[in-house]
Structure 1
Amino acid sequence: MTNPAFLEVTGVNKSFGPLQVLKECSFSVNKGETVVLIGPSGSGKSTLLRCINLLEPPSDGSIRFQGKEITEDLRNADKLRAQIGMVFQNFELFQHLNAVENIMLAPMKVLGYSRHDAHDLAVELLKKVHIPDRADHLPDELSGGQQQRVAIARALAMKPKLMLYDEPTSALDPEMIREVLDVMTELSADGMTSVCVTHEMGFARRAADRIIFMEQGSIIENASSDVFFGGEVSPRAQQFLNQILH
C-alpha cells in the first residue's frame, strides 16, 4: 500500500459570486518536494495557494494535509496555519518592530516560547536567511530583499511542515530577487516541502521537482521539472514558456 501524499488537492473549485476562479483543480505534493505553480496573471494560482491554508475556503472539493481532510471544519483553520508557513508578495512585517522582534512574536504568542528562547530562535533564523547583522533594524531600514528574508524567517519560526510562497519576489527590484530565491532554494535543498507561485523560471528550473501550469482556473500541465523544461509540454504551456523566457 502506498503512503498518502503529504498534501493532496482533489477537485477543488472556488467561486467569488458568479465568477469561477478555480475549476476542478487536483494535484498532490510529496514530503520534501518543491512544486512551482506558473501561468499567466489571473489563472488562479494565488487563489489555489490561499485555499491550501484556508485563507480562502474552497467552494467544493477536498484538501488533505498529512492524511487529514482540512476543509470539513474551518474552526481548525488557525491550528492548520500554525503548520503551514506562508510568505506573501508584500512582506507584511510589523513596522514598529525590528527584525528579531518580528520573528519572535508568533513563537511567543502561539507556541508559548519564553522571550529568551524566542530571541535565540530568531537570531538562528536570521543566520539561516543570511542577514544576522540586521537583527536590530526596523523594516524601513532594510532593503526589500532583506524584508522578504525576515518574512521567510518569521514563517520558519513556527516550525512549519509546509511552506507556501505567493510570488515572493514580485515586489522586489531585480538585484534583490536572487538573494531571496537563493534562500528558498537552500530551504528546498534541506528538504522543506513547499509550493510556490512565481514567474522566476530560473528558480523553477533550479529548485522545483514539479511544475504545474495553470490557465483560466484549470491545471493544464503537471510535469516533472525536467520534462516541463525539456519541451515535452502542451502547445499552450510551450507558448507561455516562450513568452516568459525570451
Structure 2
Amino acid sequence: MSAEEKILELVDVYKTFDDLTVLKGCNLRVKKKETVVLIGPSGSGKSTLLRCINLLEPPSKGSVVFEGHEVSGDLRGADKLRRDIGMVFQNFELFQHLSAVENIMLAPMKVLGMSKADAHDLGLELLRKVHIPERADHFPDELSGGQQQRVAIARALAMRPKIMLYDEPTSALDPEMIREVLDVMTELSNEGMTTVCVTHEMGFARRAADRIVFMEDGCILEDAATEEFFGGRANERAQKFLSQILH
C-alpha cells in the first residue's frame, strides 16, 4: 500500500482502562475509498479500536496516523481530527428539541461558520441523500429508529468528513429498519466514502466491505479481503465465529 493510497494507520495500539487491557498491539491500515468491516465476539475491543481512531479514546500506547501525520501524540488537535472523521454511534444521539434538518445544520453553523441559509440548504441536500427529505421538519420523537439513524448519518456527513466510522449503527434498530440504514451506508461506500464499520450484519459486510478484520480478546487475528474471508480461507477461529453467526 503506497503512502498516496493510505489515509489511516494504527501502529501497535494498546488501550488500557485501569488494570484491564482492551487493545493489545493492534495494527491496521486503511486506504482511501476503502470499506473495512470489523467483526468479532462481544468484548473483543472492536468499538474501542474505532474510538481510538478519532481519539475519543486516546491510545495508551502506539500511534494513530491520519493522512501521513501522527495525531495521537497531541490531543489538542482532536477536535480538528473529528471534523475529518465522522462517527455514527449505536444510539442516535440526536438533539430532541431540534428538528431533523436543525440537527444537521448545527455543526456546520457552529464549527464551520456557515450561514443559516446555507446550512439549511446543506441539511436538505443531505436528507435527500439519506432518502428522507420529507422528514426535514420532524423532531426525533416523530421519527422511526431507522429514520433517526439516517439523520445521524446525514449530520456526520455535514462536516464533509474524509472517513466515516460506524459503531454497530443498526444494533438498536428493529429488524425491518436495519436494511434502510445499511442501504444508505452501502450507497456511501459505493460512492467512495472511506469507511470503517463495526457490525454484526454479515450481509452488509459481504456486500460493501473490501476487507474484513476479525478481532478477539483485544487482538486482530485476521485481516483479509472479503472474498477470501467468506470463501473459507480465514483462520480457524474466524471461521468458527462465522459459522456461529451465520447459522
CA deviations over 1:96-133 (Å, ceiling 9, x no partner): 00000000000000011000000000000000000000
Residue equivalent to 2:2: 2
What is the CA distance between 1:155 and its match in structure 2? 0.1
Is 1:138 equivalent to 2:139 in the alignment?
A: yes
Is 1:98 equivalent to 2:99 in the alignment?
A: yes
CA distance in 1, matches of 2:2, 2:38: 25
CA distance in 1, matches of 2:88, 2:235: 30
Question: What letter is aligned with 1:216?
Answer: D
Question: What letter is aligned with 1:41?
Answer: S
CA distance in 1, matches of 2:3, 2:85: 21
1:99-178 equivalences under 5 Å are 99-178=100-179
Q: For 2:73, what is the secondary structure of its paired residue?
A: coil
Question: What letter is aligned with 1:194?
Answer: T
CA deviations over 1:15-47 (Å, ceiling 9, x no partner): 001100000000100000000000000000000
Q: For 1:170, what is the secondary structure of its paired residue?
A: coil
CA deviations over 1:24-77 (Å, ceiling 9, x no partner): 000100000000000000000000000000000000101100111001110110
Calculate the aligned-residue CA RMSD, in Å. 0.8
Segments of 4+ in structure 1 off by > 3 A? none
Q: Structure 1 regions of 5+ residues with no counterpart?
A: none
Q: What's the % identity of the aligned pairs? A: 76
Question: What letter is aligned with 1:174?
Answer: P
Residue equivalent to 1:187: 188
1:216-235 equivalences under 5 Å are 216-235=217-236
Q: Structure 2 regions of 5+ residues with no counterpart?
A: none
Give the TM-score normalised by the residue count of structure 2.
0.99
What is the CA distance between 1:2 and its match in structure 2? 3.0
CA distance in 2, matches of 1:91, 1:119: 20
CA distance in 1, matches of 2:7, 2:224: 18
Confirm or deny: 8 A CA contact 2:3 2:68 kept in the other structure: no
CA distance in 2, matches of 1:202, 1:10: 29
CA distance in 2, matches of 1:54, 1:8: 13
The size of the alignment, in residue pairs, is: 246
Give the TM-score normalised by the residue count of structure 1.
0.99
